[in-house]
Structure 1
């Protein structure tokens, strides 16, 4: 019987994508914050008073902290950081090498040979840290 909390290949691809985009997440968050600063035209001509806070800085902070796009990317960043802290030095070196290092072009089998791991061991390591990441972000 299949474990309901196990990750399939689509889940693993989705989780790996977050690791690959880790260095871009700050940029995505910054762009979204700038987008939120743009004021929309008021279409409420002749309408009543709004109940929005009058302080523009406070309303900007509220918009940023309640924006699902920003909240999700910040959760991914925290999850990746926590996952890296949970790994031992060897696994951390493999992850860094695979996603952000000079050997990021390699597939997992080639990376395993480089780090003196068998194919089955490197894939077990990959599954384990992606499972840890999924738990850290609440995916499973």
Structure 2
């Protein structure tokens, strides 16, 4: 049985080894070069993806800044409108106060004339007038 194992085993001499090495090494060099090239391409893709991500981040930041500036302008415009409305409200209140004072004066004058007329009617029969 030991003899059978010896017969099945492969005997490699120096010439066979040289032939194997001569045929395998050039092919392995080819694959090495191809793998190196593929690794360079993958590294380039990683770099491009990182740059793309950075560019997208920069764009979003610039859009955010633009939107913030626009909202600031809109807020300022609303503040101006609120100020104008408040000034208009103050003018209307002042006009209303003047109108109320005028109405009260006219009402007072009308009541005074009416009272004088009523007094005249009461005092005529008495003979004062």
Shared fold, TM over 0.5: no
TM-score by length of 1: 0.20
Q: From the CA coordinates, give the structure whose radius of gyration is larger.
A: 2
Asked which structure has the greater RCO (Cα within 8 Å, sep 6+), the reply is: 1
Which has the larger helix fraction?
2
